[in-house]
Every structure is written in C-alpha cells, then in structure tokens.
Chain A
Amino acid sequence: MNRLILAVCTVLLAPVALGETVAVVGGDVLTVGPAGRIAGATVVITDGLITAVGADVKVPADARVIDAKGKLVTPGLFTPFGTLGLVEVGSSAGPVDSVQRGNQFAASFTVADAFNPRSTLIAINRIEGVTRALIAPGGSSADALGNRSHVISGLAAVANLSGTAASIDKRDAALVVNLGEKGVAFAGSSRASALLELRHALVEAIDYQAHGDAYELGAHADYVYSTTDLAVLGRVINGEIPLLAKVDRASDIERLLDLADEFKIRTIVHGGVESWMVAKRLAAARVPVILAPENNLPANFDRINARSDLAAELYAAGVKIAFADGSGSTHNARNITQSAGNATVGGLPWDAALRAITLNPAEIYGVADRLGSIEVGKQGDIVVWPGDPFELTVYPDAVLIRGQVQAMNSRQTLLRDRYLEADTSKPPAWRH
C-alpha cells in the first residue's frame, strides 16, 4: 500500500528537469503576440524558454513531442488577483495567510513569504490551464482584540503554479490598497479617511526619501510608518511599484486618479464596477482595470451602476482589462475562461478576451518581457486545448510551465477516480 501512495505522490509532484527540449507540434497556435494566430504550428521550448514558433519549424531530434494537431495552443492563463498558495480553507479551518491586522507594518507586508507551492489549490487550478497568478494580500474585519487591517494591505507577488520551490516570479508586483467601501471598513469611518491614510503614507515616504539620513541619526521627528514601510512606499513614489486599488464607485476612481496625478504614481483599478463611467479618463491615464464580468448587480452603493458589458465598454474606450473572479474565491481561479467567454457575449472581441487572461496581466505587473504570450525568448507556459478554451465543456489536454510538462492530476481527480471506480467490492478507502 505504501508503494502505491508513493507512486501517486511522485506523479503529483512532477519533477523539474531542466535541460529538456519540448516541442508542441501541429496545433493552431494563438500566440497573443505580434504573430497572431499560426495554423499548424510548432512551438519549441528549450531549458524552459521558447526557442521557436512557426508553421515551418523543425522538431529537434531530442525533443519530447506533444501532439497538438487539430487542437488550439494558447499561452498559460494568468489570473490577475487572488490568494493562491496563501489560503487553503477560508472559513474556520485555515491556513489563511493573506491578511495582516494591526498597523505596525502595512506596505511592507509581503505575501510571497507565506506562499505554499504545495497547496491543493495549485494543482487543481494548474490542470485547467492556470500557470501564473497574482497573489495578493487583503484586508479583513477586526479580530476579537479589535486589531483591524490597514487601508494599505501590502505587497502582491507574481507566482507560477509549478508547485516547485521556485514559484515566486516577482515579490513586489504591486502595492494593494483599499478605497471606497472597503476603505471605509479599514479606515474606520469615511472613504475620505481611507484616502487620507494613503495620502499621509505617501507624504511620509517623500519626506523619508529627503530626510532618511537625518532620521537615522535621530535628527528628525518620528514617522507614523515604519522605515520598512516607508522604503516600499518610496518605490511607489519612484514609479517602480504600482498601486493596486480596490475601488468600484466612479467618483472614488476619479479621486484615485487625482492622487496618481498629484504624486506621479502608477495605479491599477481592481473591481471597477462603475469604471465604465470614467473610461475615457482611465484610458488617457493608461490605468488598467481588473474586473469580474459576472458582477452585474448593485451589490452595494458603490456598485449601483453595474453592467454586464463592462469589459466591452472599457475595451472600446482603450482601457487595458484583465479578469478576476468577483467573489475573490481563488479556489476556482480556473473559471477565468468562463469570465472571458461571458465578456465576449457582452461585446468584447474574442482575441481581446484571450489577451485579457494571458498577456494583459503580464503587462500590468511588469513581467511581459518573460510571460503572457508565445514568443521566442519568453518562458514556456503553454496550454493545449481540444476545443475553444472559453467553452465550459472544454478542459486542457496538456499544460506546460516553464517548459515542464505538468501531470494532469490533482487531489480532485484522485477523489473522482476513487468514486468513479465501477468495482465496488473494495471499500473506498482501499481504492487507490
């Protein structure tokens, strides 16, 4: 019995074998890059990087071949917001490592350090095509001792779903802040208070940039924020790290844009239910929006003007978009393809919907030089689909991350196979 269990574990933890060459042969390749769609093409990946893409590419003699004839080949999917690897079971079980309460540290809280590449969620989402994810801190209501989360939640990271030790691609992809109704919850009273907390933090960071040396010598008044926080905020001021702001109401988005203009910082809107009302300004400021196409109800007074065709409206106005699950439930990050399909029904062009779940998130988080499309020089994140990837009845045939062919099983497929078994002569506990 132990031998069997060991065999299962070996399959689940697909070993990394650098130096391998893989060729995905004969598929219709949707590169999401300048080459567009290439029919009957071959993609070659060597040492984790894409080395050739095209219809007349020769398959190297030593390559492991994946037959994709009659199939669609896309870049790996990139979910632009969630808590993969940070939360196993959200309610009354844990671990939940995405939330920090108390104000000693805010901006410098780094979820990358809590990431668990062996979380059950990783394989479950990986086998459905998700290869990269933004993992983000989030606020939460006050605990029993009255400790509340700060308006600034901390640093979000880009992670891959390889399940290996080398899962964090970028530790500091964005600084998460909460405005609007969420900001009210954390700032304690008004959304103006939330904006004020953020502004104060930025002002201190600028002051610290100018007077940090004096402060270290004891020749400057104390700061509210820790120096580790001020260092991170300084990188926001310098334009190195964008602010990822949870905000829905149109007027709150306008205030965020005012703040961005004033401090010359980069911002990303997360939620953005009413963002269509300020789409022109968002486009002019080149501020992307991460949205859930299914969120069409006035769930609160920040979302009164919700609409199903939000993605199409923003796209038409020239705003860069990406899709995140509305519930924030990362367990089903895999449903990003459903969101893409639904967005097309709202009027978004199909190619734009595919871009929104691949290249756009990579661009938004500054990793598009390595990720997001099938182009020579980029990392080999590839998904082979037997049909239209947005269709709910279509599941991937093969998934590659950095050129590694992934095992197509997960804890859920093991559960399924145990109860799918026609031979019921053995109790479930012995079916493995």
Chain B
Amino acid sequence: MLAGCGSDEGQEDSAERAFASQYTSLASDSVLLRGATVLTGTGERLDAADVLLADGKIVAVGADLEADDAEVVDAADKWITPGVIDVHSHLGVYPSPSTASHSDGNEMSAPVTAEVWAEHSVWPQDPGFAAALAGGVTSLQVLPGSANLIGGRGVTLKNVPGRSVMDMKFPGAPHGFKMACGENPKRVYGSRGTAPSTRMGNVAGYRAAWIKAADYRDKMQAAADGAGEAPVRDLQLETLVGVLDGEILVHNHCYRADEMAVMLEIAKEFGYKIAAFHHAVEAYKIPDLLAANETCAAMWADWWGFKMEAFDGIRENAALVDRAGACAIIHSDSEIGIQRLNQEAAKVIGAAARAGIEIPPERAVQWLTQNAAKALGISDSVGTLEAGKMADVVVWSGNPFSVYTRAERVYIDGALVYRRGDAATNPVTDFSLGTAAANGGAL
C-alpha cells in the first residue's frame, strides 16, 4: 500500500509556493510491535505494551492489541519510543566530507542575513543523514550557522533520503529562524573591523533589524488597506515580518544566562516569541525565566569550556531546567552527537541522580521527542506515541539510556527505514557507494 503524499498540513504548504514540501512517505504495511516497554513521550511508561502502526499513523498504544492484517514484531525485552527529533543540526549544510567546497552553513557576508534559507544549502547526499537514522533520529531541524546576528531560516526535515531538499521537508512544519548571541558574531565581524565587535554591538544590530521589519510590515499592511503603494518585496524583511507575525519560530543560539535574559527583553520590545535558546549552557541559572516565557532550552549534556561563554557548563543543566517546569531539550549540533542523543540524555540522568534528582526514563525521553517537537512547531503530528500521529517510531534493543543499547528498527510514517544489521533495509547515500559505510561499516 502506498501512503498518500504528505499530510493534511502538507496541503497548506501550497504546491504553488516555491520550495514547498514534496515529501512522500515510503510504502508501509500495518505493523504490530508486541510486548515492549513503551515510553510514550507524553511522560508515561507502559510495560509489556503493544504499538500498532497502520496507514503511516499510530493507531493504538496499549496492552493486548489485535490486528488481523498486521505484521507482528516480537518486541519483548525491547523498548519503544517516539522517533528522536534533533532541533539543532547542520547535516547537509556542513556535510561530510567537510571540505571547504561543502561549507554552506554560514552566509558570513553581513551580520543580518535573514533572507537566506538553510534548505537552499542542504546536500541530500550527506552520509550523516543515514548515520543519524541509525541513532533513531526521524526528524531534524537544519539551521544556518551562528556567525551572524540573524543567520536566516532553518528547515525541518524528515530523515528520509531524497533527491532534493523538497523531498525531505517535513510537511507543514513552520520555518525556523536562526539568531546568535555572544562571541561568534562579534568575533566574525569585529575581526574585520566592522560592527558588531562587542555584545552591545550585537544588541544594537538585532534591534535595528526589528525596527526595519516593523516599518516594512506597517507599509505592507497600509498598502493592503489601500493606503499607499507596497514596497518592493524584500526577502530579508519578509522573513523578519514572518517572525513578528508568529509564523516563523525563533531559535536563538545563546550560551550565557545574562544574554538570554537580554534577548527575552528584545523579544518583548518588538513583540515576538523565542521558541528555544540553543546551546543554552547556562539555562540552569534562569529556569524560572524560561518557564515564565514558555521558551525552551536546547542543550548539550556536557559540552563546556571550548569557548569562554561555555565555561560554566554543568552536566545537570537539563535536569535543573526540567525540574523548574521549563521545556528542556537535548540537541546535538554535531554529526557525531546526533547519532547518540539518547546517550547524552543518559549522562544528565546520571549526573542528576548524583545531585539527588531522580529522572525516570519516561521523563528524560521527552527531552528528545515531545519537547523538541514543541520547539519546532510540529507537536501536533510527531513527538509522542498517540493515536493519529505520524508513525515515527524507534524500537531499541533495551533501555535507550544504556550505553549498550542501539536502535534496532526505525519507522518513519510507518515505513521501516532502518533495521540494525540489515544492509538491504538501510539507505546508502550516493557519496558512500564503494566505501566501508556502504557495507554497513559505518553503522
């Protein structure tokens, strides 16, 4: 049976619009995963439970499910989670091999490049996509880099091979929007003797951009109301207005607590919302502020010290954010780390326990699934195992927070797209043909 093209939301992403999703789910049969420990992503853990997938959707999760026409997979001793979602990846825009000719993630020609879209740099043949799939990653946001104050639009992908980025685009997902605090923009432009060269210069740069955007929005609105001529379409301002209108979600690279607080002030000043701070190494210092603003913190488990603004990193970061009722996410920013986001969460679980905070697996899994889906604006269709959602599912060999556990089966929209040790099931990029990876060596 061939599933339909995209989802209902996909229809809204009108085919008339350029660069719309052309994702088509792979053929799938009904599958009944039987007898597993299921972490639903909603905070629940079900033991000896079944998960039924059909027509690309999750049909049911619970005990003793029946389905006459479904392939039954014995999942006793296995654990099942929603597909892992990475909110911060540069796969495709900084692909392997990381040659200078592949360096397409940072438009380092001006501090504000809201007009560029990461999807126009994505190379679908990046072998990193297949490696991430083996780590259970079913969706990911690919972002521009952090050289600029405003780096451009991010794109959310389904982790399926495609001939073009349109084949991979998550149907109906809103665009992301990359902003960067701190050291990177001021270093990149300061070293050229241009603004910004300080953190105060950074802030002046963001504010100037929003002032222009508000003006553009007002002129567009006036023209629509019949009061004056519309300005020439401006891609940069169009994206910024998309943020002000809430259609494009802000993902703000920001390490330090004090800078996150300043960024929340700027958002207040211009009336937009920050979906998530990324690389939020000091989020543990302001979890109350994050909770009050409904802004997620996307974090590494333990990266620290490689730059000054990362000097106060601690392994308990995500746990302290979570404890305060704020939205905690574990992200990768790495083609290596994306393959083991479950292991990164495990480090936090252990560190939190050392500090007296118990985090059960059903809680920690939300950092990789439901919370990530929320930050990307796709939580209506993925991030949890609930009836009616896309059947993006991972069957793990055991507790996903053990170092010895691996993803054994990965389903995207109900289709088996990865099976550990089964080369015939697993995708191989054009680039990897003839290498060890093509023979399963990379996985």
Is this pair of chains taken from one and the same complex?
A: yes
A→B interface (CB under 8 Å):
88-93, 120-121, 294-301, 303-309, 326-327, 329, 331-332, 335, 338, 341-342, 344-345, 390-395, 412, 415-417, 419-420, 428
Contact B336 A121 (CB under 8 A): no
In Å, the complex CA distance between A417 and B320 comes to 11
Given contacts A345-B406, A393-B347, 18 further A-B contacts (CB under 8 A): A89-B305, A91-B307, A294-B340, A297-B127, A297-B128, A298-B431, A298-B437, A329-B303, A332-B302, A335-B302, A338-B343, A341-B403, A392-B402, A392-B403, A393-B353, A395-B351, A395-B354, A412-B314
In Å, the complex CA distance between A207 and B320 comes to 63
In Å, the complex CA distance between A420 and B324 comes to 11
**Quick one: given A89-B307, A298-B127, A342-B403, are A416 and B314 in contact (CB under 8 Å)?**
yes
Q: Contacts of A300 on B, CB cut-off 8 Å?
A: 97-99
| A331 (CB) vs chain B CBs: closest residue | B305
Q: Is B55 an interface residue (CB 8 A)?
A: no
The residues in B between 274 and 316 inclusive whose CB is less than 8 angstroms from any CB of A are 284-285, 302-308, 311-316
B interface residue count range (under 10 / 10 to 19 / 20 to 34 / 35 or more): 35 or more
The total of Cβ contacts below 8 Å across the A-B interface reads 141
Q: Contacts of A338 on B, CB cut-off 8 Å?
A: 343, 347, 403
Q: Contacts of B351 on A, CB cut-off 8 Å?
A: 395
Q: Contacts of B436 on A, CB cut-off 8 Å?
A: 304-307
In Å, the complex CA distance between A331 and B404 comes to 24
Contact B435 A305 (CB under 8 A): yes
Contact B306 A90 (CB under 8 A): yes
A-B complex: 3 closest residue pairs judged by Cβ atoms: A307-B441, A341-B403, A393-B350
Q: Contacts of B312 on A, CB cut-off 8 Å?
A: 415
Contact A412 B315 (CB under 8 A): yes
Q: Is the interface of A mostly helix, strand, loop or mixed?
A: loop
Q: Is B187 an interface residue (CB 8 A)?
A: yes
Q: Within the complex, what minimum Cβ distance (angstroms) separates A133 from chain B? A: 16
Q: Contacts of A91 on B, CB cut-off 8 Å?
A: 183, 306-308
Contact A419 B308 (CB under 8 A): no
Q: Within the complex, what minimum Cβ distance (angstroms) separates A277 from chain B? A: 9
Q: Is B401 an interface residue (CB 8 A)?
A: yes
Q: Is B432 an interface residue (CB 8 A)?
A: yes
Q: Is B15 an interface residue (CB 8 A)?
A: no
In Å, the complex CA distance between A108 and B30 comes to 67
28 residue pairs of the A-B complex, CB under 8 angstroms, read: A92-B183, A294-B339, A296-B131, A296-B442, A296-B443, A297-B336, A298-B437, A299-B96, A300-B97, A300-B99, A301-B97, A304-B97, A304-B436, A308-B443, A327-B336, A329-B303, A331-B304, A345-B403, A391-B350, A392-B403, A393-B353, A393-B401, A395-B351, A415-B312, A417-B355, A419-B320, A420-B355, A428-B285
Q: Within the complex, what minimum Cβ distance (angstroms) separates A297 from chain B? A: 4
Q: Contacts of A329 on B, CB cut-off 8 Å?
A: 303, 306
Q: Within the complex, what minimum Cβ distance (angstroms) separates A90 from chain B? A: 5
Q: Contacts of B315 on A, CB cut-off 8 Å?
A: 412
In Å, the complex CA distance between A93 and B99 comes to 27
